[in-house]
């Protein structure tokens, strides 16, 4: 006798849009949210307060092409992040969150609850920071996602596919020990391919080496 599959309960889904700056992540997020509205679904749009690329439209997500969409502002404060659950009431079908890499780990809990409630959650953000390291909570979201799409920009130096975000300060690559968060646009950042990406790690190695020496004293290597 054939085993019959049970009809699954209606569940939500998590979609992650990632990539470097200038790759079209926000545009894709807006496209999916607009498409959901065409399907007569109620959409809630969230953005992080730190993104102030256009002060006149601070309450809107905005692509580098100038497209924009009104959004609720939320900071990284856990209390504010938790309020997303109140904003996404029973009438909301789809939740879109831009610049997700800036949010605290509390956002993971909130997103999982929204998905459990049967909502479609679409997030967009950088997967790598200017150092070339995984950015914030993005690695966890990629592991939890039902659907992932990675966008690539065009390297400004050679024209190849670019998945790195190069930070430039005074026409020079930023140092590895510089602050991770520095919101800006074309005057601060460039899209670079792996071959053209550059980061000054001199200070990083100066910091790392003494720590390695301390660790070696605690756990000396056995000579063969």
> Which tops the pLDDT comparison, 96 or 65?
96
pLDDT class for 207, splitting at 50, 70, 90? very low
57 vs 61 pLDDT, higher one: 61
Please tell me which residue, 52 or 95, carries the higher pLDDT value.
Answer: 95
Quote the pLDDT of residue 185. 46
∠ CA 144-146-121 to the nearest 5 degrees?
Answer: 85
Average pLDDT, the chain: 86
Neighbours of 191 (CB within 10 A): 23
Residue 26 has pLDDT above 80, yes or no: yes
Residue 180, C-beta contacts closer than 8 angstroms, at least 6 positions apart: 129, 130, 131, 135
pLDDT of residue 214: 46
Can you give the pLDDT at residue 15? 98
Per-residue pLDDT tens over the stretch 67-86: 889 999 999 899 999 999 99
Comparison of pLDDT for 208 and 98, the residue scoring more: 98
Q: How confident is the model at residue 171 (pLDDT cuts 50, 70, 90)?
A: confident
**Distance separating alpha carbons of residues 62 and 198, to the nearest angstrom:** 28
Residue 22 pLDDT exceeds 60? yes
Across the range 28-39, mean pLDDT stands at: 97
Mean pLDDT, rounded, for 177-195: 80
Decide if pLDDT at 109 tops 80.
yes
Distance CA 173, CA 170 (A): 8
For tokens 């479609």, name the residue: 120
The residues with which 169 forms a beta bridge, in sequence order, are: 172
Question: Which residues are tagged catalytic?
Answer: 99
Sign of the C-alpha dihedral computed for residues 201, 203, 175 and 133 taken in this order: positive
pLDDT tens by residue, 145-165: 999 999 999 999 999 999 999
pLDDT at 47 over 70: yes
Sequence-separated (6 or more) residues with CB below 8 Å from residue 199: 130, 131, 132, 173, 174, 175, 176
Domain 13-212 -> CATH class? alpha beta
Tell me the average pLDDT across 37-59.
81
């Amino acid at each position: 006798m054939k085993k019959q599959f049970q009809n699954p309960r209606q569940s939500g889904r998590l979609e992650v849009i990632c990539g470097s700056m200038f790759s079209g992540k926000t545009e894709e997020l807006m496209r999916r949210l607009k498409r959901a509205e065409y399907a007569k679904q109620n959409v809630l749009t969230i953005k992080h307060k730190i993104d102030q690329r256009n002060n006149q439209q601070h309450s809107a997500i905005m692509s580098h092409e100038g497209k924009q969409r009104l959004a609720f502002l939320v900071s990284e404060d856990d209390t504010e992040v938790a309020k997303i659950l109140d904003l996404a009431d029973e009438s909301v079908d789809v939740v879109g969150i831009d610049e997700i890499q800036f949010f605290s780990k509390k956002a993971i809990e909130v997103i999982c609850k929204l998905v459990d409630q049967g909502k479609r959650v679409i997030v967009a953000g950088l997967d790598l920071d200017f150092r070339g390291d995984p950015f914030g909570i993005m690695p966890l979201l990629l592991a939890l996602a039902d659907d992932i799409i990675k966008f690539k920009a065009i390297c400004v130096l050679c024209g190849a596919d670019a998945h790195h975000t190069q930070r430039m300060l005074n026409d020079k690559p930023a140092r590895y020990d510089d602050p991770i968060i520095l919101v800006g646009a074309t005057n601060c950042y460039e899209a670079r391919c792996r071959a053209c990406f550059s980061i000054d790690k001199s200070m990083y190695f100066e910091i790392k080496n003494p720590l390695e020496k301390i660790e070696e004293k605690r756990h000396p290597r056995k000579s063969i």
